[in-house]
Amino acid sequence: MKRCAILILVLLCLSSLARADRLLIYSDAALTDSTLNDNSPRIANLYVVHDMFRGTGIYFRIAPGAGFTGVWLGETTAFVKIGNSGSDISIGYGACLTGPYLVLTISYQLFGTSAACSAVQVAPVAGLPCVFVNSGCGFVELCVYDLGEVHVNCAVPTEATTWGKVKALYRD
């Protein structure tokens, strides 16, 4: 009996890993890039995407890292929200949704002064162990540990090459 209970517990854990929720953040509207260059004054938008199996809402914050000098201007969402992303935000989807989908767009004023390789990341609300999601289309709260971040002013890795190798890329 004890072995059966342990086996069931292991299977439940493995099934929850297979459908791991992710809360990602992107720096482009196409939701493909997680890098940002803060090299001149401008307004930049960051896009928070909830990539999950099924759910009805989420509770999190956005945490600018040390060295990021952008100033939060505001945020928009198509869903019901309480709070703001700088400290704690609850977003209710109003229905049971299957992801991925865009949950929040955040605007920052950049000044071109952020430190090299700083970051803006999705984080748990201060004092909580994880980001909570109402999952399974009920009132079951689960933790999300796969949290995204945008890398600001990080150098792009390069490789040594020669002009001959570059020209060879374009030969017929």
Domain boundaries, the chain: 25-154
CATH level 2 (architecture), domain 25-154: Sandwich (2.60)
pLDDT at 53: 67
Segment 74-116, tens digit of pLDDT: 999 999 999 999 999 999 988 888 878 899 999 999 999 999 9
- For residue 7, what pLDDT is reported? 33
| Model pLDDT, residue 37 | 95
Confidence of residue 15 (pLDDT cuts 50, 70, 90): very low
Least confident span in 48-52, 57-61, 114-118: 48-52
Distance CA 102, CA 47 (A): 7
Show Cβ contacts of residue 26 under 8 Å, excluding neighbours closer than 6 positions: 32, 33, 34, 46, 47, 49, 148, 150
Specify the pLDDT at position 8.
Answer: 35
Q: Evaluate if residue 14 carries a pLDDT over 60.
A: no
Counting residues of the chain whose pLDDT is more than 70, the rounded percentage is 82
Determine contact, residues 58/131, Cβ cutoff 8 Å: yes
More confident site: 134 or 47: 47
Dump pLDDT digits (tens) for 128-160.
888 888 876 766 788 888 899 999 999 865 566
pLDDT at 135: 75
pLDDT at 21 over 70: yes
Does the predicted model carry a pTM greater than 0.75? yes
Question: How far apart are alpha carbons 129 and 7 in whole angstroms?
Answer: 27
